[in-house]
Each structure stands twice: as C-alpha cells, then as structure tokens.
Amino acid sequence: MTNVELSQASFDLGQDIRLEKTFAHLMSVNMMAFSPAEPGRPHPAPWKAAKGGFGYDVSIEIQVPTGTPLPGSLNARDAIWLIAALLRLAKFPYLMVPIISDHSFSSIPKSADEPVLEPFETEKRLLRAAEETSTEVDCDSLDWVRRVWPFTAELIEKHSRFATAFRAFDSCTIRGRTSSSLLTLWGGIEQLFSPSPGELRYRVSSNIAAFLHPPGNDRLATYREIMNLYNERSTAAHTASAIDQGPLIQSYVIMRNALIRMIDEHHVPTQAELENAIFAQ
C-alpha cells in the first residue's frame, strides 16, 4: 500500500491475512528503442532514456495466502482489493495498492530469486489527504476492517446489486473527469435504491433518506439534499458542462454512509423493507 502508514509493526486481519509495515520504492523509467526486435531477442541498440516514468513508496504490505479458501470464495487478488477498498471506505480514500509481488518486500533484497511484480492500482485517486491529516492507519479502522471483511465478501458473493454498487463506489475516486466519477457513483446508488427505471429521482432520494434516518427533520433534509444532488447527476449525464467536485463529495459521503450501514448490519435492504421505512409507522 502507498499513501498511508501502519500505526504498528503488523496487524492480523484473520484468515492468515496480515498487514506488515515495510518500505520499498517502486520506480519505472522510460527507455526507447528504435528498431524492431527479432523473436526472443531484445531490441537492438541504440536505446535512449526518456524523462517521465513513475515512482511509489510502498509503506504497508498485505500478505494474502494463495492456497487457503477465503470467505465469499475470494481469490487472493480479490482479497487484496477488498481489504484496500474497505480501508478507503473507512477513512483513507487516497490509499492505493500499486503493485503485487510474489515475495515479501522485506525478503527481496536477500533473495536469490527475482520477484515477479504485477501492476495492480496504478491510477491516482481524486481525493488527497489534507496536510494536517494523519495518514497513519489507526487501530479503530483496522479493527473495523478485521471485523467486517469476511461478511462483506459474503455480501458481494450473494448480492449482485451490492457487489456492483460497492465496486462503483470504490472506482469513482480514480482520477479522471469529475462528471464521469459522479455518473459512476450514482450508477451504484441506483443499483441499491432504485426499484425500477421510472421515477428515479424521487424513489432513490426517498429510499436513501429513509434508510439513513428515522422519520423527522434529518430525513427530510437528507431527502432534499439528495434531490438536489440528483440534478447534478443529470447535468453530468446530459451536458458537456464541467461539474464542480462539491456534488461528487456530497454524493460520496451519502453512499459511504449507506454502504457502511449495510456492511455493519450484514444486510442489503430489499425494496419492501425500504418501502416500509418510508410509509409504515
């Protein structure tokens, strides 16, 4: 992981998955060749170095077993993504896992084998930590992820709407056009809170407000906020106008709260349950 620090030397997430404090600087430089290569041979000289490339400071490694059954039928790659996504959901939306290695980073300098490195999350995130904000992954966030990741894996396996919405939420902060990110986020919201293509604005707004708040002023205020945000979603969908990041952040927070509640309750609400929350006393 990059852009965050571990508050302790290691942390056990269960199921033989661990976080370990480490350090490795991953760098990629640009080289150019100017003649085609023969099969199985390198490109012939001359080679020329070029400016550019990228670099990441890896400060935490996720150790995931490859031969052990995991909750929700996860494979190792999906488990890595899920742990990172839950930490982003909890508190660290700027966290990235840029590379997967078949060796522990701490073992590579003394290993006789060359590690196999595979790019994983190489696109920057829209959100950044404020200068005064600690990027240290705290114990409360780690405890929450340890407690909920097995149940979240099962929700993803059993509920396709939740799986689609959660992945849309996690991908909406990948750097790109704000309008595209807003559409991705609202596509996830509609997966969870829209019973049909008709009357989306009212249905989605009332369902989310009823899910997040009991009857009263807070529910009404949230309903009105979401109705206004839906207008921003429509602007992003139907015009080429630039979208301010404010509506994206507001929508992000609302969906974050809904996902955390579903994860904490280990339950994705049905349409009947949402209707009861709105209309039943």
Note the pLDDT of residue 238: 52
What is the domain partition of the chain in residue ranges? 5-30+46-146, 159-279
Give the whole-angstrom CA distance, residue 260 versus residue 240: 33
Note the pLDDT of residue 91: 92
Give the whole-angstrom CA distance, residue 6 versus residue 105: 15
Structure-block tokens of residue 281: 């006393």
Give the whole-angstrom CA distance, residue 59 versus residue 22: 5
pLDDT in tens, the chain (281 residues): 999 999 899 999 999 999 999 999 988 888 899 999 999 898 999 999 888 778 889 999 999 998 889 999 999 999 999 999 999 999 999 999 999 999 998 889 888 888 899 999 988 888 787 776 678 999 999 999 999 999 999 999 999 999 999 999 999 888 777 778 888 888 888 888 876 655 677 878 888 888 999 888 898 899 888 888 877 776 666 554 556 778 888 989 999 999 999 999 999 998 888 888 887 65
User: What single string gives the DSSP state of each residue in 163-231?
Assistant: HHHHHHHHHTTBSS-HHHHHHHHHHHHHHHH-SSSTTHHHHHHHHHHHHHS-TTHHHHHHHHHHHHHHH
If we measure between CA atoms, which residue out of 30, 138, 17, 29 comes closest to residue 83? 17
The verdict on whether omega for the bond into residue 46 sits within 30 degrees of 0, i.e. cis, is yes
